Chains A and B, each alone.
Chain A
Amino acid sequence: MSSYKKSSVLLMVTLCFVLLVSACGNQGNSNSTANSSSNATSKSDNATNSTNSNSKDEKIALTLMIAWADDAAAKLEEELIKEHFADKYDITFKTVDNNIAQTIKTTIASGNPVDLAFYWTDAMDAFVDADMALDLTPYLEANNGEWKDTFLDGSLDVATYNGKIYAVPSVPVYPMIEANKELLDQAGVTISDEPTWEEFVTVLATVKEKLGIIPFGLNSSWANWPVRENLMSIWPEEEQVTAWSNGEIPFTDPLVVEAFDEVKNLYDQEYVYPGKGALTVTLEQINVAWKAGKIAFKADVNFLAPQSIKDAGLENVQILSWPRMGPRNNVLAAGANGYMIPANVKHPEASIEVLKFLTSPEVLQHRADNNQPVAVKGVTSNDPNYELYSKDVVKAYSQKEITLLSPKIDEYIANKVPANYIFEGKAALEELEKLRLEAVSAK
């Protein structure tokens, strides 16, 4: 019995010791650089191997975060990259999700950044302000701008901050509207391809009256688009657009108030599906309503429009530019889906090489084959409607949006507008004005 007890005690102590050692020792490979912290050894983790141990025979390990789960085209791009660089890089892919910003920042802060990440070229300010993004300008301008010239004219402007380019686009993104022509015919109305705001609202009112439907489908994630578009298009003079973008015009300006009021009117008059509850309607609910013929107009992103129309099974669809409140014919500089490289990436040359391949006409041609507009020259499409889904690419505003003035203004307009204005009125504009003054004084 005594020996049994002793054996049990010895076994327990050994077990505890093993647990202790494994808990402390499960730190992965350690890096010798000053910024590194613990790494996971699992391939599914977002870790990179030690740089010091790389020899000529060892492939450089890269972690790329470039594809959304539901983006078949991006998944194909992952396969193309893996195949192309099979002999050179050991590439691990992570899926992009709605927490992409947090994920990138966490990896940067930990000292183990992803080597290349999807990001929207117009939303880089949060990274640029914190010096978290790699300046791509030297690489773009190398060899007389060889890489830079592959991009569509003006498409790099949105990712340019203080003269430096921090991201490159792959798919230009801008809002547009699809119109179900059959419903418009039933209501006895027509609308031009590039409507004014007044024309658009008049048609909405007529369709609602004649057909008894709530005509405009705009999901909650995109509810800020009308406000953002109106805030860019309402200014009579070009200089005012520039002044507005630079934060020189207050949010209490009468034209700004008018822009907000026009959007509020859409919700007050219940032109936005499904009426009450329009502020929280999801894209899935809008798609169901679109397919069922419950809405006559659907707000969409240009590169999603072909699939949306195909899924709905609608044959008679008119593609509209986003309605404009003022005299100019530009579209919102909604930026583009693109890619960025963290500033503290371990192998910037490798990241650049992969990025160049990823944004080459060779790779992006498959998107053009699926009617997706792309931001590079040299792609072709046999689809006659391809032009319609990218017709407004060249009409982007040259000025940046005021959302780029500060992350707080960006977050407010992205997530709280128009809801806060609808519920709080001028108080919401006063909050925005406070943020504008903070941002301007910080610059």
Chain B
Amino acid sequence: MNERATSVDETMSPGAAKGSQTMGVAAAIAGWIVPGLGHLILRRWSKAAIYFLCVGALACAGLAMRGGVFASGAEDLFDRLGFFADLGAGVFYFLAHQFQAAGPDVAHATGDYGTRLFAAAGMLNLLTVLEAYEIGRGGEPK
């Protein structure tokens, strides 16, 4: 108990709202759209900053390496899985075409690494979304 009081919520203000299902869903949706926003709403300042920076860094690196971004409606199962992974990056997925003016180049190895980095950003953000949901509904994750 003491450990929790001293270490966890150095980032949470004393007036943080009590958890509820609605709060959990709102935090999850916000965290999916903008990585870290769900934690920001829940007043977990340092987690919000770290998640935004880490997911953003992976996604931007993936796009800068001219990685491919999967589109919806793919025929192939792996492409569909790739789409769901990419979609997890939220705003970075929706703005991918603006960031990547030259388009993807997966013919080269670097572009292929970029595709994986962007998918990893999406998957990582989905993990943070689950945590935001859990915190929002009142269950502090382990």
A and B part of one assembly? no
- A: residues with CB less than 8 A from B are none
